[in-house]
Amino acid sequence: MSEVNAYLPGQRDRARYMRLDVARVLKRFHFCERALIIAQAGWIAGIAPLEIKITLPRHLWEDALTAGELRNRVFELRYPSRLLEPGDDSPVIALFDEAIQAPGALAFVLALARVYKPVLLEAYRAYLDIADVIADGPTVRFLRAAVEDKEHQLHDLAGFATELLKAASADEQATAYDWVTALQQSFDRVGSLGIEGPHDAGEPLTAPLHQPFQFAEVPARDPRFSLCRFYWPNVIDPNFAYGEGILLQLRSAVSHVNEVWAIETGGAILNAFANVLDWEFTLDAARWTYDEARHTLMGYERLTGWGFTPDEIPLGTYIFDSARGEPAIIRMGMLHYFETKNIGKKTDRAEAFASYHDDVSQHDMEFDWADETIHAHYGAKWLKVLQQKFPDLPDSDAIHERCDALVNALIETATDEDRRQIYAIAEKMIAKAQRTLEAVS
Ligand SMILES: [Fe+2]
Ligand SMILES: [Fe+2]
Query: Which tens digits make up the pLDDT trace of 402-419?
Result: 999 999 999 999 999 999
**155-160, long-range: CB within 8 Å, 24+ apart, which pairs?**
156/55, 156/59, 157/109, 157/112, 157/113, 157/117, 158/113, 160/49, 160/51, 160/52, 160/55, 160/109, 160/113
Q: Which of 258, 244, 303 is nearest to 428 (CA)?
A: 303
Per-residue pLDDT reduced to its tens digit, 80-97: 999 999 999 999 999 999
Which ligand is the nearest neighbour of the Cα of 341? 2
Confidence at 339, pLDDT banded by 50, 70, 90: confident
Share of the chain above pLDDT 70, in %: 99
Among 305-319, 340-354, 371-385, the least confident range = 340-354
Query: 262 C-alpha to center of ligand 2: Å?
Result: 7
Alpha helix (H) residue ranges in 230-317: 233-236, 246-257, 260-273, 279-305
Which ligand is the nearest neighbour of the Cα of 256? 1
Q: Which of 315, 337, 298, 324 is nearest to 422 (CA)?
A: 315
Judged against a pLDDT cut of 60, whether residue 392 lies above it is answered with: yes
The CA–CA distances, whole Å, from 167 to 49, 157, 192, 302, 310 equal 11, 15, 33, 27, 18
For residues 65-72, give the mean pLDDT.
98
Confidence at 241, pLDDT banded by 50, 70, 90: confident
For residues 368-395, give the mean pLDDT.
95
Report the alpha-carbon distance of residue 194 to residue 127 in Å, rounded.
7
Question: Does residue 288 contact residue 62 with C-beta atoms inside 8 Å?
Answer: no
Report the alpha-carbon distance of residue 102 to residue 66 in Å, rounded.
24
SS3 content of the chain, % helix, strand, coil (to 5): 75, 0, 25
Query: 336 C-alpha to center of ligand 1: Å?
Result: 10
Report the alpha-carbon distance of residue 180 to residue 338 in Å, rounded.
39
Judged against a pLDDT cut of 70, whether residue 350 lies above it is answered with: yes
Averaged pLDDT score across all residues of the chain: 96
Q: 3-class SS at 381? A: helix
Q: Given this model, what pLDDT does residue 101 score?
A: 98
Query: 350 C-alpha to center of ligand 1: Å?
Result: 15
Which ligand is the nearest neighbour of the Cα of 255? 1
The CA–CA distances, whole Å, from 64 to 99, 103, 128, 183 equal 16, 24, 19, 23
Q: Given this model, what pLDDT does residue 344 score?
A: 82
Residues 6+ apart with CB under 8 A from 216: 45, 46, 264
Query: 112 C-alpha to center of ligand 1: Å?
Result: 26
Query: 183 C-alpha to center of ligand 2: Å?
Result: 36
- CA angle 71–76–80, rounded 5-degree value: 110
Query: 371 C-alpha to center of ligand 2: Å?
Result: 7
Report the alpha-carbon distance of residue 369 to residue 347 in Å, rounded.
7
Report the alpha-carbon distance of residue 32 to residue 89 in Å, rounded.
10
Question: Does residue 245 contact residue 356 with C-beta atoms inside 8 Å?
Answer: yes
Query: 320 C-alpha to center of ligand 1: Å?
Result: 14
Judged against a pLDDT cut of 70, whether residue 182 lies above it is answered with: yes
Which ligand is the nearest neighbour of the Cα of 260? 1
Q: Given this model, what pLDDT does residue 2 score?
A: 54
Report the alpha-carbon distance of residue 63 to residue 157 in Å, rounded.
14
Confidence at 35, pLDDT banded by 50, 70, 90: very high
Which ligand is the nearest neighbour of the Cα of 373? 2
Q: Given this model, what pLDDT does residue 5 score?
A: 75
Judged against a pLDDT cut of 80, whether residue 3 lies above it is answered with: no
Confidence at 42, pLDDT banded by 50, 70, 90: very high
Query: 295 C-alpha to center of ligand 1: Å?
Result: 5
Q: Given this model, what pLDDT does residue 341 score?
A: 83
Per-residue pLDDT reduced to its tens digit, 358-376: 999 999 999 999 999 999 9
Question: Does residue 293 contact residue 401 with C-beta atoms inside 8 Å?
Answer: no
Judged against a pLDDT cut of 90, whether residue 195 lies above it is answered with: no
Question: Does residue 282 contact residue 242 with C-beta atoms inside 8 Å?
Answer: no
Which ligand is the nearest neighbour of the Cα of 334? 2
Dihedral sign, CA of 155, 156, 162, 165? negative
Confidence at 38, pLDDT banded by 50, 70, 90: very high
